[in-house]
Chains A and B, each alone.
Chain A
Amino acid sequence: MPAVQETVERVKRIDVDQYRYGFETLIDSEKAPKGLSEEIVKFISQKKNEPAWMLQWRLEAYRRWLTMTEPTWARVEYPKIDFQDIYYYAAPKPKKTVTSLDEIDPEILKTYEKLGIPLREVAMLEGVEPKVGEEDPARRKIAVDAVFDSVSVATTFKEELKKAGVIFMPISEAIREHPELVQKYLGSVVPTSDNFYATLNSAVFSDGSFVYVPPGVRCPMELSTYFRINERNTGQFERTLIIADKGSYVSYLEGCTAPQRDENQLHAAVVELVALDDAEIKYSTVQNWYPGNSEGMGGIYNFVTKRGDCRGNHSKISWTQVETGSAITWKYPSCILRGDNSRGEFYSIAISNGFQQVDSGTKMIHLGKNTSSRIISKGIAAGKSQNTYRGLVTAHRKALGARNFTACDSLLIGDKCGAHTVPYIEAKNSSATFEHEATTSKISEDVLFYCVQRGLSQEEAVGLVVNGFVKDVLQQLPMEFAVEAQKLISISLEGSVG
């Protein structure tokens, strides 16, 4: 069919300049020598002024990692990663302690401005902060933690959050300032021995965000972290730990971008969420790492372990992700439903174009009674990409009355891409109710023709159909993010149809 022919032609011409965040920031940075060894682990720990227990924790992880091998079960193909050819630590110079934004390298501030995250403006708002109760309700505040390569460069609204009792700071600071919380919860959801990449992260993570919301507190604003990889040949290993104490609520947003480079870069993050009794955590991600060029060269290898523990009764954790970037995505944000009546949710849009490979999904592990979970996954494959949903739903024998509903829909654009669904379902007691629905469809020529006959261009038509397809998930995102995600979806699919 001619239109499909054209699709293929257009996909062939997809160019790197469609990635809008591919610029590089020229700043001096301080790096540890290439490669990984006990010395490097010690170097990172020392750079962070960490207490002895933290170094010990890292070293144990490192020794464990040496005994592990890379997982190969995912439906992704890539050349073997040389873990000795990566820088494990890079920090922007100067390395003196930054006490205000004025001391941050202006180039870094500019970078975040280009990314649409104006740290300076946000900080100024903080300076003219109105009295509590007199806030302008029209202007929703978002506190930002900006992580540049291996270190956090700025965290905004810290003071205001502090008044509410919320701790939001780089995890490197939390290790020094709140060791009791970090020691209690770090590694309690994703243990250091969990998997190859999580163990590597445990040994070498250099920064990330830490959040603690005290009992009964509804966090007064959205919290967000923007991750930016800048340095060449540098891995980014951030670690995020969020604890929602009894009866509290927090909504957390995460965004990520990287420059365009010909070589691949490794990103191996760990995110741990803990929700105690009656607490709720909503975690949203818009992942837009550099996906590689039209020949499949470059791009981020994204091997991420994200897991939430509904530790308390009636607790709730909800993951929403919009995945558009990375050359390879290996990511399964999961929920352990330990508390009785706890609930886990996973809403996902995964878009792949060009040569991207996505293997993503979730695990819902029902341990407590009357636990429920819901999975809505929308995969969109274009170009020569491969898009796999991999999901696990299990009910422990004590998880009486466990319920799950799963809907996995895949949409194919063109005929050189693939969509795959790999669900694993295990119920170890007879009172569990699991429902699974899956569909795979193609954007049909008929639908596109109908739209263009009504005056839409081919690209507008694809955008419209895709946005309709992902609507259920977009609605789960906080409003600011939903708009960003919608734009991102159209950009990611530019050139996917002739």
Chain B
Amino acid sequence: MPPLNRLDTKMALLEVKDLKVRVEEREILHGLTLTVNEGEVHAIMGPNGSGKSTLSHVIAGKPGYEVTDGQILFRGEDLLEMDPDERAAKGVFLAFQYPVEIPGVTTMNFLRTALNAQRKARGESELMVPEFLKKVREVSKSLNIPQDMLKRGVNVGFSGGEKKRNEVLQMALFEPSLCILDEMDSGLDIDALRIAADGVNALRSPGRAMVVITHYQRLLNYIVPDFVHVMSKGRVVKSGDKELALELEASGYTQFEDAA
């Protein structure tokens, strides 16, 4: 267990400690540290190539990254020792920047297969079909997702906004305790962004933390963070509250490039 040196009663959910990561011999993260407590929303901002997406991929367990130093703890457990599907069952959810298409597999079938796989891994019973359908209907209604979209292949022929809403739908169904949103605003117009952000905000709760990765401040008008971290060249170079995002919007990332 990590040392309990904090004064508040919040539990540390995610602790990234001095993380160093390589991709094909090139170091991308050079000792990154970040702590996210239950109920908090953290924004990670930074220019292209600063390592934001790498961080999200390493937390979720995407193959192709080599962790050379440091650790990632999730509720005090070593996340790096777990397969990606185990991490998912433990409550780590990554909303993808580019959700993939799976032809021939209906969204409904995919949702049920995934949910039951997670439940099985946690030793829970499979959700009965009527119960599952009821849940899906409720959530999809609130996200403005038409029922016939659920009968189509996963993300096949979906618009950018539909794909992102589908990610939020899964987030709502699987009820993860850590949600990482990777560039959720990319490719979305304002209306689509608002619907997706409303969906995310509805999922904010004292037991759930979120890490919002974004290049632009715009998204943070809709999903207001508790903390903002600026990443540059594979490190967190500045942390602050939501005002930091506005500051960045005004002055740009250049000032931090030297700091890194």
Tell me the complex Cα distance, A457–B104, Å. Answer: 19
- Closest B residue to A463 using CB positions: B113
Bound-state Cα–Cα, A470 to B103, Å? 10
Residue of B nearest to A441 (CB): B103
Task: Note all chain B residues with C-beta closer than 8 A to A452.
Answer: 61, 83-85, 88
- Counting chain A CB atoms within 10 Å of each CB, the highest count among B63, B100, B118 belongs to B63
User: How many angstroms from the CA of A458 to the CA of B110 in the assembled complex?
Assistant: 14
Which chain B residues lie closer than 8 Å to A458 at the CB level? 85
Please give the distance in Å from B153's CB to the nearest CB on chain A. Answer: 7
> Are B174 and A455 closer than 8 Å at their CB atoms?
yes
Q: How far is the CA of A452 from the CA of B61 in the complex (A)?
A: 9
Of A446, A453, A454, A469, which one neighbours B104 at CB under 8 angstroms? A469
Is B85 a contact of A464 with CB atoms below 8 Å?
Answer: no
Q: Are B117 and A460 in contact (CB under 8 A)?
A: yes
Cα distance, A449 to B87, chains bound together (Å) = 12
Query: CA of A453 to CA of B59 in the docked complex: distance in angstroms?
Result: 11
B102 neighbours in A (Cβ, 8 Å): 447, 450-451, 464-465, 468
Q: Which residues of A contact B64 (CB under 8 A)?
A: 1-3, 445
Q: Which chain B residues border A456 with CB–CB below 8 Å?
A: 85, 113-114, 117
Minimum CB–CB distance from B163 to chain A (whole Å) comes to 11
Q: Is A471 interfacial (CB-CB < 8 Å)?
A: yes
With a cutoff of 8 Å between Cβ atoms, the chain A residues found around residue B240 in the complex are none
Q: Tell me, yes or no, whether A467 is within 8 Å of chain B by CB.
A: yes
A453/B84 in contact, CB under 8 A: yes
Bound Cα distance from A447 to B63, whole angstroms: 12
A194 contacts chain B at the CB level, 8 A cutoff: no
Contacts of A447 in B (CB 8 A): 100, 102
- In the complex, whether B196 has a CB less than 8 A from a CB of chain A is no
Which A residues lie within 8 Å of B135 (CB)?
Answer: none
Q: Which residue of A lies closest to B153 (CB)?
A: A468
Cα–Cα distance between A336 and B113 once the two chains are bound (Å): 43
Binary A-proximity of B91-118 (CB < 8 A = 1, otherwise 0): 0011010111011110000100111011
A residues less than 8 Å from B137 (CB atoms):
none
| Minimal Cβ-Cβ distance residue in B for A3 | B63
Q: In this assembly, does B121 line the interface, its C-beta being within 8 Å of a C-beta of chain A?
A: yes
* Given A455-B89, A457-B85: A467 and B104 interface contact (C-beta under 8 Å): yes
Is B170 interfacial (CB 8 A cutoff)?
A: yes
Chain B CB within 8 A of A444 CB: yes
- B85 adjacent to A468 (CB under 8 Å): no
CA distance A458 to B87 in the complex (A): 13
CA–CA, A471 and B153, complex, Å: 11
Q: How far is the CA of A472 from the CA of B96 in the complex (A)?
A: 28
- Is the CB–CB distance between B114 and A467 below 8 Å? no
Interface residues on A, range: 20 to 34
Q: Contact between A470 and B104 (Cβ–Cβ < 8 Å)? A: yes
In the complex, what residues of A have CB within 8 A of residue B96's CB?
A: 450, 453
Q: Are A460 and B113 in contact (CB under 8 A)?
A: yes
Complex interface: chain A residues within 8 A of B113 (CB): 456, 460, 464
Asked if residues A446 and B100 are in contact (CB atoms below 8 Å), the reply is yes
Beta-carbon contact of B117 and A455 below 8 Å: yes
Alpha-carbon separation in the docked complex, A465 to B101 (Å): 10
B62 at the interface (CB under 8 A from A): yes
> In the complex, what residues of B have CB within 8 A of residue A3's CB?
63-64
Residue of B nearest to A470 (CB): B104
Contact A455 B100 (CB under 8 A): no
Q: For residue B115, which residues in chain A have a CB less than 8 angstroms away from its CB? A: 455
Interface assignment of B209: CB less than 8 Å from any CB of chain A: no
Contacts of B88 in A (CB 8 A): 452-455
Residues of B within 8 A of A449 (CB): 60, 62-63, 84
B window 153-195: CB within 8 A of A: 153, 170, 174
Residue of A nearest to B116 (CB): A455
Cβ B117 vs Cβ A468 within 8 A: no
Choose among A444, A451, A457, A460 the residue with the greatest number of B CB atoms under 10 Å from its CB: A451
| A residues in contact with B61, CB < 8 Å | 452-453
Interface string of A3-25 (1 = CB under 8 A from B): 10000000000000000000000
Chain B residues lying within 8 Å of A450, measured Cβ to Cβ, are 96, 99-100, 102
CB of A455 within 8 A of CB of B105, answer no
Which residues of A in the span 422-466 have a Cβ within 8 Å of any Cβ on B?
Answer: 444-447, 449-458, 460, 464-465
**Nearest Cβ distance between residue B152 and chain A, in whole angstroms?**
12
Q: Which residues of A contact B62 (CB under 8 A)?
A: 449, 453
Q: List 5 A-B contacts (CB under 8 A).
A: A450-B96, A450-B102, A453-B62, A465-B105, A469-B104
Supplied contacts A455-B115, A457-B85, A468-B102, 12 more A-B pairs, CB within 8 Å = A1-B63, A2-B63, A450-B99, A453-B85, A453-B88, A454-B117, A454-B118, A454-B174, A455-B118, A464-B105, A467-B105, A471-B105
Q: Which 10 interchain pairs have the tightest Cβ spacing?
A: A468-B104, A468-B105, A455-B118, A454-B114, A471-B104, A455-B88, A455-B117, A3-B63, A452-B84, A450-B100
Q: Which residues of B contact A (CB under 8 A)?
A: 60-64, 83-85, 87-89, 93-94, 96, 98-100, 102-105, 110, 113-115, 117-118, 121, 153, 170, 174
